[in-house]
Amino acid sequence: MAALKVYKSSAFTYGWLTVASAIFFAPLVFVVSIALSSDQTVASGSFSLIPTEFQWDNFVRIFQTQQPVGNFVLNSVIISVFATVGQVFSSALVGYAFARLRAKGKNITFMIVLATMMIPAQITMIPQFILFKELGWINTFLPLIIPNFFGNAYNIFLIRQFVSRLPLEMDEAAMVDGLGYFGIFRRIVLPMMTPVLMAIAIFTLTFTWGDFMGPLIYINDDTKMPLALGVQLLTSTSQELQTPPWNLVMVGTVFLSLPMIIIYYFGQKYMYEMNITTGSAGVK
């Protein structure tokens, strides 16, 4: 009896999981299928769900279109890397101070940090645009990079929670040895922060890489666009009734998505580590 029950429940589980993961995975298979199809197939619109053609040269041809796809990729890399470096260092410094240093007014300041998390970005979007316009930063990467050098409430919160759980003994020993606050931060605390910093780096990288609205507001020149903004230009055609080169567009979406999947694959270790450490504050 008992054995039968287990068998039945696992058939149920496997059945549902197979159906669900097939549904979730199918669009990705379809993307690959379109990306590898020939121009004739695109023109007739007769794509198959499972790849039947393998036009690998689409992955080269995408760089030979009227759109500067090579620039798109390079711009995305530049913007994401600088944004991530800025975010990690500024949030680490601020988060450390909130976790370890004592000062009058610290708690109220921290409350303000938390409160800012609730403000939607759209509120500040227009004045920020005016500000960057006045600074002459329109059509540069600066509006997409520089704000990251001033920390972000959510990241600061994460770091503060993480550092609060680190043992104090090392700090105190270093202080006795005459290391200043910055020395303690850089030599003692920063190396111990690796998991949380990796997690924040992955967040920032993923957000910046995929951000659409920011570049849409600030970047006008094709050659300065990141991939997330540029890729949809591939769908625009010179003539009204022409079919967009869907195979190349899907190659673009592969370029846009694959780095995120790779980063997740190598970074999940840190993300799960964070799960455990913040878990006691969060989940339970």
Which residues in 154-183 contact another protein (CB under 8 A)?
Answer: 156-158, 160-161, 164-165, 168, 172, 181-182
What are the strands, taking DSSP E only, across 105-211? none
> Would you say 68 or 162 has its CB closer to another protein?
162
DSSP at 189? I
Out of 107, 223, 236, 237, point to the residue binding another protein (CB under 8 A).
107
CA pseudo-torsion sign 93, 96, 100, 104: positive
In the complex, least distance from residue 52 CB atom to another protein, rounded to whole angstroms: 14
In the complex, least distance from residue 60 CB atom to another protein, rounded to whole angstroms: 20
In the complex, least distance from residue 2 CB atom to another protein, rounded to whole angstroms: 11
> Would you say 64 or 130 has its CB closer to another protein?
130
- 227-266 burial, b at 16+ Cβ within 10 Å, e below that, comes to bbbbbbbbeeeeeeeeeebbbbbbbbbbbbeebeeeeeee
> Would you say 64 or 280 has its CB closer to another protein?
280
- 214 binds another protein per the rule CB under 8 A: no
**Interface positions, 130-149, toward another protein (CB under 8 A):** 130-131, 133, 147, 149
**Distance between CA atoms of residues 197 and 252, nearest Å:** 30
The label of the residue with tokens 């270093």 reads 174
Out of 72, 82, 141, 246, point to the residue binding another protein (CB under 8 A).
246
Q: Where are the alpha helices (DSSP H) in 65-152?
A: 69-100, 106-116, 121-134, 142-145
The label of the residue with tokens 């009734």 reads 241
| Rg for the chain, CA atoms, rounded | 24
Q: 46-85 mask for another protein (x: CB under 8 A)? A: xx-x------------------------------------
Out of 7, 183, 216, 220, point to the residue binding another protein (CB under 8 A).
216
Out of 73, 83, 88, 113, point to the residue binding another protein (CB under 8 A).
113
> Would you say 78 or 99 has its CB closer to another protein?
99
**Nearest CA to 189 among 149, 156, 153, 162?**
162
